[in-house]
Copies of this chain bind each other. A is one copy, B any other.
Amino acid sequence: MDTQSYIEQLGEGAKLASRNISLASFSQRNEFLKRLSEELSNSKKIILKANQKDLVEAANKGLSESLLDRLRIDQPAIDRMIDSVREVLNLPDPIGQIENLRSMPSGIKVGQMSVPIGVIGIIYESRPNVTIEAASLCVKSGNTVILRGGSEAIFSNQCLADCLSTALDQAKLPVKAVQLVETVDRAAVGSLLKLSECIDLIIPRGGKGLVARIAEEARIPVIKHLDGNCHLYLDDGVDLDVALKVAINSKTNRYGTCNTMETLLVAESLIDNLLPTIVKEMFSHGVEIRGCERSKNIAPEIILATENDWYEEYLAPILAIRIVSGIEEAIEHISLYSSNHTDGIVTQNHQRAMKFIREIDSSSVLVNASTRFADGFEYGLGAEIGISTDKFHARGPVGAEGLTSKKYVVLGNGEIRN
């Protein structure tokens, strides 16, 4: 079968299974998650073996160490997958509730019921844990899913897909509720993006190139985030210990994540009493600093930042620093350069905190907390299927709730309209 026919067949299977999954009871969907956590636990050895096969092939192909790192599954990684399945298991039912039911003057009662979206296509690279997290969230929310992982993770993903099928079967749900694209043919992505008859939503996860291409090409709604050029602004009169702690954590906790701070904005009143300490500590973590004209004077190792640096998502131990006159200039800088993913302020001033919250147009706005908190787990969503920088439907970390829609429900007693 050619790739397009194969993808169409997956799409039809997913659409048929969709009605069944959307009507499955809460306990049946949870039964799947329970069985899945057991199945993962029982299959540790074969998962590690399959992953080893991917790693060997990837190393032979000369993949970079950071890609190998994202591909690697070890014992703790399996435990984290199991934990994430259990977290999703413990979430309340994201579908079926009728919210905000209210009586209208006509006599009717009107509310909104949360319902599944239908069939979701996930296109992702490297990290095989996405296979488990995406499938868990989709089934929890009554959706079916087609998973298209990277070719470099095909053995790992097939092995994880087997666990998913077994768990679906044990929970008496159709196995076509979760399907893995088992061809490594790159044309499969293009075919998925055209399948508007069967797929209701596409979620890409991966590098900026992949995501931009998918958003451009798809004729199906896409929930995406492009980049995380995140800012932290240290305000006048800040608590110095808090500012230092939050700035260092926002940059150095992890370098490769989308919620890592990339530019630090510092009120000019802090040039002498705070900035030198921050710079010193960043250097001790091995962070390269690219500073504006004024911050460059703090230390000879600071490289002069160019206009490009303000736009850059380094995903590396590099930090841009800019001195600003105060909150107005900080907001102006962020409004111009931010990718609207995550931006934070450290301040002791209530009015300026509220001003920052109100005026910064990003999917997460933080006050006195590390940018690294912008994350589905930390927000209590159980897991996340991605972080949306779009303004539509779902914004910020997307969990089970972001995979639902709402329909109006009207309960009457024979009312007619005048």
Contacts A391-B200, A406-B395 given; does A96 touch B358 at CB 8 Å: yes
A246 to B358, CA, bound (A): 47
CB nearest to A95 among chain B residues: B358
Q: Which of B104, B249, B397 contacts A379 (CB 8 A)?
A: B104
A223 vs chain B, min Cβ distance (A):
9
Residue A407 lies at the interface, judged by CB distance under 8 Å to chain B: yes
Contacts of A361 in B (CB 8 A): 115, 407
- Given the complex, which residues of B lie within 8 Å of A112, measured CB to CB? 396
Q: Tell whether A144 is near chain B: CB-to-CB under 8 Å.
A: no
The closest CB in chain B to the CB of A108 belongs to B369
The digit string for A110-149, where 1 denotes a CB below 8 A from any CB of B, is: 1011010110000000000000000000000000000000
**How close is A145's CB to chain B, nearest CB, in angstroms?**
16
* Structural contact, A373 and B410, CB atoms closer than 8 A: yes
| A38 within 8 A of partner (CB) | no
- CA A359 to CA B23, docked complex, whole Å: 7
Complex CA gap A378/B109 in Å reads 10
Cross-interface CB contact of A396 among B393, B408, B417, cutoff 8 Å: B408
B407 engages A249 (CB within 8 Å): no
Return chain B residues, CB-CB under 8 Å to A241. Answer: 414
- Give residues of chain A (376-416) contacting chain B, Cβ–Cβ below 8 Å: 378-380, 391-393, 395-397, 405-416
Q: Mark A299-340, 1 if CB is under 8 A from B, else 0.
A: 000000000000000000000000000000000000000000
Known interface pairs A364-B408, A366-B412, A395-B405; 15 further A-B residue pairs with C-beta atoms within 8 A, sorted by A's residue number? A113-B365, A200-B391, A221-B392, A242-B414, A246-B415, A344-B410, A361-B407, A363-B407, A365-B407, A365-B408, A368-B411, A392-B392, A395-B406, A395-B407, A397-B408
Q: List 6 A-B contacts (CB under 8 A).
A: A241-B414, A246-B414, A366-B409, A368-B415, A369-B410, A374-B408
Which residues does A use to contact B, with CB under 8 Å?
Answer: 23, 96, 102, 104, 106, 108, 110, 112-113, 115, 117-118, 200-201, 221, 239, 241-242, 245-246, 248-249, 253, 344, 346, 357-359, 361-370, 372-374, 378-380, 391-393, 395-397, 405-417
